[in-house]
Each structure stands twice: as C-alpha cells, then as structure tokens.
Amino acid sequence: MSRARRIRAEVTAGWHSFLRRRTAVFFTFFFPVILVVIFGALVRTQPTDGGLFAEPGAYYIPGYLATVVLFTPLSRIGSEIARHRDGNRFEKLATTPLTRGEWLLAQTIVNIAIIGIACVLILGLVLAITDATIAPSIGLLWLGPLVVLGVVLFCGFGAILGRVSETQDGVIAASNTIALPLLFLSDTFIPLSLLPEWFVPAIELSPLTYFSRGVRAVTYPPAGDTLVPAIAILAGLAAVFFLAGAYAIPRTE
Amino acid sequence: MEHALVAEGIRREYDGTIAVDGVSLSVDRGEIFGLIGPNGAGKTTLIRALTGTTDAEGSVTLLGDAADAVDDARIGLLPQSFSPPDRLTPRELIDYYGDLYDDRRDTDAVLEDVGLTEAAETWYENLSGGQKRRACVGITLVNDPELLFLDEPTTGIDPAGRRSLWRLLESLADRGRTIFLTSHSMTEVQRLADRVGLIQAGSIVAVGEPTDLIAKHGGSSRLVIGTAEAVIEAAKTAIEAAGFDAAGGLEAVVVENVSPVEISAIVEAIEAAGIEYGSLTWTEPTLEDVYLELTGEAFEGVGTPGAGAIDRDGDAVDVSAEEGSA
C-alpha cells in the first residue's frame, strides 16, 4: 500500500508537470505527425522501382510508432534526470522512502500514458492519410504490450543516458545521436534487403528491432509470425534496461 | 542530554581536494545547531555526509541509529539550492512529497506553518523568492521530522520573509525538533542557534554557544568617533578625562569597552570640549569577529549584528551589511 501510494504520488506529479508544459505536449505529438505526413503522404516512390518507401503502407507502421516509443522516453527521462540533478531533487528524494526503482517506474507509467495516446493518434493518422490498411484481428491487442515493453525499455535507456549526461543539453544531444540511427536501422523504415549484407547482423543488436518486428507481425501479415520471439526478446531487454536504468539513477550528489 | 546527531571523523575528498577533513561533532535533541562558514568551507558537503547523500569516511549516528538505518520519516532535509517541480502549486508539492511517507501532516497545516495558505494554488515558478523558499521548507516539514537538516534555508529571501522563516524555525525548536542549519549569514546563526560550529577549509575551528564564543574570542565593544584629523588629539584628551581609554585612528578616535549607556558620557565630553564630530559608530563583537580571530580570515558572508552608527543629529547613518542593529 505504501509503495503504491508513493508511486501514485510520483505519477501524479510527473503527469501534471508534463501536461502543464504545453510546448512539450505539442511537440511530443507533432513530431511523429510530421514524419507520417512526410514519409506517408508526401514522399512518392514507384513501387516497381524499389528503393525507400516502396513497400505497402502498413509495412511502415512500426517505424511511425517507433518515433514516439523511442524518442519520447529517451529525451523525457534523460531530461527529467538532468532537471532533478539541477534542482538537487534526488538529494531530497534520497532522504524519503521513495526508491530509485519506484521513481523510474512512476516516470515510466507517465510515459506509457503519453506514448499510448500518441500511438493511437499516429495509428489513426497513418490509416487516414496513407494507403496503409490493417485487417481487424484479435492479434492487434498485442500492440498494447509491445508499446508498454518498448517504453519500459527506452525509459531504462533514458535513465542511463541521464546519468552519463551532465546537462539537459547533453541529454538531448545524446538521445538524438543514439535515437536517429536506431530509428532507421532497426528494421523499421528500411527493409533489410536495402542494406549491405555485412551490416544486417548489426540490426539484431538494436533493441528497437524487436519492437518493430513485433508490431509488424500483428499489423502486416506478409511479415510472417515473428511475434513470439520478438516479444520475448523485447521483454527480456525491457527488464534488463529497466533494472540498469533504476540502478543508474543518482541517489547521491 | 541525549544526542540527536553524533558524527565522528567525517572526511570527504573530491579529486584530491579535501572538502571535509575529519569533522566530529554532536547535536543535542531539541537544539538548533548552526554551521557557519564562507562559500566553499565545506558546509554542504558536511550536510550531505551527515544525511548519507554523499559517500564519506567516518561514522554518523542519527536519533540513536546508524545513518543508513534510521527511519527516513524521522529525518527532513532541505538541500542547498533545492528546486522542486516548478509547475506544481505549493499545495500539490506538499501533497506530492507528503504522500511519499506513510504518516504525513495535513497539507493545510503545513501551508499555514509556512505562510502559504493564500498562495497555495499558484505555480511554484510564479511564487516570489521568499515564497519559494517557504514552500521548500514546507516540503521538508511534511513528514513532521524529528531532525531537520536545512542547508542555507534563507538564501535569496527578502528580510521580511527571512524573519518569518526564523520564527517558524524557532517554533519548531520550541516543539522539540532538532535543527541542523547551515548559513553564511552571521545574523541568522547568531539569532537562531543554541550552538554554533565555525567551519573553515573543511575543518571545524570552534563549537560553542554564540555568546560564549563571542565572549572568549570576539574582543570588546567599541565606539568609533569620526572627526577631523586636526582635533583627534584634543578628542582623545577629552574622552580620557571622562574616564575612558581612547586611541587615535585615521580621522577617527576609537574607544574600547564602551557599553551603550556610556556613549552619552563620551559624547558630552567631546561636545563640552567644543570638538565637532561627523559620526559615531558603536559596535559590539560578533561571530564575525570570532571567525576572524580564530581563522585569520575576514568572513565574506553576510550580516553582522551589533553595529550601528549615528550622525551628529542623532540619525542612524550606517548599519551592518545586512540588518544589524545599534
């Protein structure tokens, strides 16, 4: 009961803090919208010629969802840690019963709520303005756990970034530097067939790859049944990154 | 009396620089202990060592338990330059930090304690500097701690807000709370603290009651009479004839060991001799003098109570850097 109360208090504070930063709210949702509009509606490719964006629209759904599942936790958690350090908030929290794991869990819950809403909006936008179609099926319910696991994973990653970066500027720079290549080299927007053979094994090293494959398995039937291995690996990585992230959160100055 | 805090051999080093060097001290329950020293003396590092928010050598006992075993709910910490989430209101901040504890004080009671009832619904970022610090102190009080660590709690607060916080801290002490306070305001520590520790370069150079330290190390009270250099000798003669020891200075005569009630006798003596003076400045020794005496360094903090000046019309013309009184 005490633990639930502590986490609820941290979630409430984090949720209010986020909602009251209107620019943060706006760009959290606007950034993926821009990508959907540019890559899904503006960029034209002749499918017979191959190349970028030559696959059917539904193929790219994992990429669009990945923009928020990847970027938002990395930058938000990292920045939050930097803000906490600047304001000596961790020093204060270290003398309260709140643990590092509880703090990260609460921040993760806030991110799950934000990103969950963003994913629904993105999915609707993709279906509305691109040629993507999704056949209704019970399997689509797996999108929820996939998004949750992806957010947990990258919240942990963001906590590690926040620990190693000393300032908010540093966090933003580091998260962009890491997230941008991950976004395009994780079996998201670029099919493996367009990459050099020697590079393909490196794709397996990206945690985002398993999110992408899991989402594609339930939204793009031609991808084949890769859901179980993808979600299993994603769950394992989420647990490892969350624990590492919780450990990385500073408790002393 | 039972100790609320016992620290032995606290030492903390950063990259070869010793921030705290073998500090040992104890604080009694219900006591306000003021740690004073200039910026960089080691105050914040010592508080961090005592609260376990930095790794340090030595041992710390809080409320009878080892520092890492004491119940968090019994301790309250206001870190230096603490800044809570700035788009929450004081009410939300009190609720947030309060809900981190099993037993917590009523939000309205805390807001009333720190005088923020009317500003309870204003975002933290829109509060004045004084209101912000009071909100931070309120956050520290949510769990009704027995032992409070306050690292420069009044920095950045206007004089009225500072006095309001002082009264709050005094009322907490009256209710049996133990307060470990750091400050670089001599005025603050001299007013609040039952005992004072002076810290220089990571070492405690003296501990004691302010009045004892001042009596032992602060020197005597003095009256400085500003006057023309040409009449200094005549002024000295007149003052000595009235029964006081006087010494000449640069455009001033200095009279040592003068109590406030003796000032009028000296003024009458020089006026009877027809000597004009520009100002009278009476000072009593302060902790600042103690610090200077013990460390050989002028204190660069703020506030020296006990200094005042009067021009020949009887108007106050000069007080201490902060808010001293004549």
The beta-carbon contacts of A237-243 under 8 Å, at least 24 apart in sequence, are: A237/A153, A237/A207, A237/A210, A238/A149, A238/A150, A238/A152, A238/A153, A238/A156, A240/A156, A241/A152, A241/A153, A241/A154, A241/A155, A241/A156, A241/A157, A241/A160, A241/A207, A242/A104, A242/A108, A242/A152, A242/A153, A242/A155, A242/A156, A243/A156
Report the complex ipTM: 0.89
Q: Is the pLDDT of residue A89 over 90?
A: yes
A21 to chain B, any CB pair closer than 8 A? The answer is yes
Between CA A15 and CA A29 the distance in angstroms is 16
E strand or H helix at B107: helix B107-113
DSSP string over B18-57: EEEEEEEEEEETT-EEEEE--TTSSHHHHHHHHHTSS--E
Position B58: which residue type?
G
User: Hey, where are the domains in chain A?
Assistant: 2-248
Please report the pLDDT score of residue A1 as a whole number.
Answer: 57
Domain match, B183 and B46 both: yes
Residue B34 confidence (pLDDT) = 95
- Chain A touched by B139 (CB under 8 Å): yes
Identify the CATH number of the domain in which residue B28 sits: 3.40.50.300
- Determine, for residues B100 and A16 on separate chains, whether the beta-carbon distance falls below 8 Å: no
Average pLDDT on A35-62 reads 78
Test A253 with B54 for CB contact under 8 angstroms.
Answer: yes
In the sheet that holds B65-66, the strands lie side by side as B17-28, B3-14, B57-62, B65-66
Residue B69 lies in a domain: yes
Question: B interface mutation test: which of A83, A88, A99 has the most B CBs within 10 A?
Answer: A88
Residue B325 lies in a domain: no
Question: Which of A21, A96, A253 faces B100 most closely, judged by CB atoms?
Answer: A96
- Mutant choice from A8, A76, A96, A105 vs B, greatest count of B C-beta within 10 A: A96
B103 in Cβ contact with A96 (< 8 Å): no
Give the pLDDT band of residue A46 (cuts 50, 70, 90). low
B79 within domain boundaries:
yes
Rounded CA separation A129/A36 (Å): 8
Interchain pair B55, A95: CB under 8 A: no
Put simply, the answer to whether A88 touches B84 (Cβ < 8 Å) is: no
Q: What does each of the 326 residues of chain B score in pLDDT, given as a tens digit?
A: 689 999 999 999 988 889 999 999 999 999 999 999 888 889 999 999 999 999 899 999 999 999 889 999 999 999 998 999 999 999 999 999 999 999 999 999 999 988 899 999 999 999 988 889 889 999 999 999 999 999 998 887 788 878 888 888 999 999 899 999 998 888 889 889 999 999 989 999 999 999 898 888 888 888 999 988 888 889 999 999 999 888 887 788 999 888 888 999 999 999 999 999 989 998 888 888 888 888 877 655 544 444 444 444 444 433 333 333 32
B171 & B276 share domain: no
Are B189 and B76 part of one and the same domain? yes
Looking at residue A141, its pLDDT comes to 94
pLDDT given for residue B319 in this prediction:
31
Out of B212, B237, B252, pick the residue that ends a domain: B212
Identity of residue A80:
E
Question: Which one of B43, B50, B53 would you mutate to disrupt binding with A, by most A Cβ within 10 Å of its Cβ?
Answer: B53
Cβ–Cβ of A16/B87 closer than 8 Å? yes
**The total number of structural domains that make up chain B:** 2
In this structure, the dihedral spanned by the alpha carbons of residues B78, B81, B85 and B87, taken in order and rounded to 10 degrees, is: 120
Confirm or reject contact between B126 and chain A (CB < 8 A). no
Q: Are residues B257 and B147 in the same domain?
A: no
| Domain endpoint, select from B212, B245, B264 | B212
Non-local (6+) Cβ contacts of B220 within 8 A are: B256, B257, B285
- Same domain for B208 and B256, yes or no, is no
Q: Mutation test of the interface with chain B: which of A95, A105, A107, choosing the one with the most B Cβ atoms within 10 A? A: A95
Pick the residue from chain B with its C-alpha nearest to A13: B96
Whether residue A3 lies within 8 A of chain B, CB to CB, comes out as no
Q: How far apart are CA B148 and CA A92, in angstroms?
A: 12
Chain A residues with CB under 8 Å of B48 CB are 91, 252-253
A80 touches B: beta carbon within 8 Å: no
The residue ranking higher by pLDDT, A192 or A225, is A192
Q: Which residue of B has its CA nearest to A81?
A: B85
Among B187, B212, B237, the domain-final residue is B212
Q: What is the pLDDT of residues A139-189, one digit of tens each?
A: 899 999 999 999 999 999 999 999 998 788 888 899 999 999 999 999 998
Instruction: State yes or no: pLDDT of A131 exceeds 90.
Output: no
Interstrand relation of B65-66 and B57-62 (parallel, antiparallel or unpaired): antiparallel
Instruction: Give, as one character, the DSSP assignment of residue B283.
Output: E
B290 assigned to some structural domain: no
Task: Report the 10 Å Cβ neighbour count for A247.
Answer: 15
Looking at chain A, which residue has its C-alpha nearest residue B76?
A: A95
Surface-to-core class of residue A4, CB atoms within 10 Å of its CB (0-12 exposed, 13-18 middle, 19+ buried): exposed
Q: Are residues B183 and B225 in the same domain?
A: no
B102/A20 touch (CB, cutoff 8 Å), yes or no: no
DSSP 8-state secondary structure symbol assigned to residue A210: H
Q: Of B284, B285, B77, B293, nearest to B200 (Cα)?
A: B293
Q: Residues B50, B196: one domain?
A: yes
Residues 194-223 of A with CB under 8 A from B: none
B289 assigned to some structural domain: no
DSSP, residue by residue, B138-156: HHHHTT--SEEEEESTTTT
Instruction: Based on the fold, state whether residues B173 and B231 are members of the same structural domain.
Output: no
Residue A91: the pLDDT is 93
Please calculate the CA angle B272-B276-B277 and round it to the nearest 5 degrees.
115
DSSP reduced 3-state for B224 = strand
Residue A8 touches partner B, C-beta closer than 8 Å:
yes
- For residue B324, tell me if it sits in a domain: no
In a domain, B278, yes or no: yes
The mean pLDDT value of chain A amounts to: 91
Q: Is A98 on the interface with B (CB under 8 A)?
A: yes
Integer Rg of chain A from CA:
18
Q: Do A87 and B101 touch (CB under 8 A)?
A: no
pTM, 2 dp: 0.84
Q: Is residue B326 part of a domain?
A: no
- CB contact (8 A) between residue B96 and residue A9: yes
Structure tokens at B107: 């939000």
One domain, residues B195 and B227: no
CB contact under 8 A, A16 and B81: no
Range of the domain at B82: 3-212
B257 and B191 within one domain: no
- Residue in chain A closest to B73 (alpha carbons) equals A96
* Helix, strand, or coil (residue B308): strand
**Residue B58 and residue B81 in one domain:** yes
Minimal Cβ distance to B96: which of A12, A20, A87: A12
Q: Does residue B155 sit at the A interface (CB-CB below 8 Å)?
A: no
- Same structural domain for residues B239 and B107? no
Chain A residue numbers with beta carbons less than 8 Å from the beta carbon of B99 are 5-6, 8-9
Report the CATH number at residue B303: 3.30.70
